[in-house]
Amino acid sequence: MKKPIHKLMGFEINEDYKFLVVGSYCWGTGDTIEKAMKNARANGDVSKCYCKIVPKQKGEWEICDITGGISIRNKKGWDFKKDEVFLQTWNKDFHVGGNKSGKVIKYGFDLFN
């Protein structure tokens, strides 16, 4: 059985977090990178995407509508600057690329730079 990508990459994640995949005019979330990619594929092109770890709790993060970027809202009790799970991918360019069915075909840091 194949391991999920986040296990292969050595990411530490728990049930309080999920993966966010943001591509060209599309985004999706999931408990694994693979699930997030399939959810993003339902909305658009996933050939070149950013992948970030975000908290499951809504209101702590949001996607900017205009730029396709990701904004962070600081909720009481959550300090994202000290959040080790969140910071694994936040300030790094972790990319994933998928095919037309949403299957992940490439992944890694600085993949599309």
- pLDDT at position 96 is 97
pLDDT, one tens digit for every residue, the chain (113 residues): 689 999 999 999 999 999 999 988 889 999 999 999 999 999 899 999 999 999 998 788 888 865 667 888 887 888 889 999 999 999 899 999 999 999 999 999 999 88
> Distance between CA atoms of 5 and 108, rounded to whole angstroms?
10
What is the count of structural domains for the chain? 1
- Residue range of the domain that includes 47: 5-109
pTM, entire model: 0.91
Q: What is the pLDDT of residue 12?
A: 95
**Cβ-count burial of 28 within 10 angstroms (0-12 exposed, 13-18 middle, 19+ buried)?**
buried
Structure tokens at 107: 């992944």
Residue 29 has φ and ψ, to the nearest 5°, of -125, 160
CA angle, corner 82, sides to 81 and 84, nearest 5?
A: 110
